[in-house]
Structures are given as C-alpha cells and as structure tokens.
Amino acid sequence: MLDPPRLGTLLALSAGALIYVGATHLLPRAEQEGRPFSLLALAGGVLVAVIIVVSKG
C-alpha cells in the first residue's frame, strides 16, 4: 500500500493529466462540433468528476 504523501502526489499527477487532455483535446473538439449541447455535456462531465473527487475528500 502507498503512504499518503506518495498517493497524494500520484493522484495530483493523474488529475493534472485529465485536465490537460480535457483542455487540449476535448474542448476544441466540442467547439468544432458547433452544437451547444457538446460544451454543456463536457462541462457536466467535468463537474461530475470534481464532485466525486471532492466527496471522497
């Protein structure tokens, strides 16, 4: 099992990777689609992920 500081570091790195992928790949793709629902769905997915992470806090 990982000690808490190392686990926190790994979780922070994985969260950063998720944010990077979302910002560089998903957001421009959603804007290209031209559908307002695409951006809303992306924002909703990010919000759900944040709520899950915060609730585990």
For the cut 90, the answer to whether the pLDDT of residue 13 exceeds it is: yes
Tell me the whole-structure pTM to 2 decimals. 0.49
Of the CA atoms within 13 Å of residue 41, those in its CB half-sphere come to 10
CA distance 19 to 46: 9
Residue 57, pLDDT > 70, answer no
Residue 2 scores a pLDDT above 70? yes
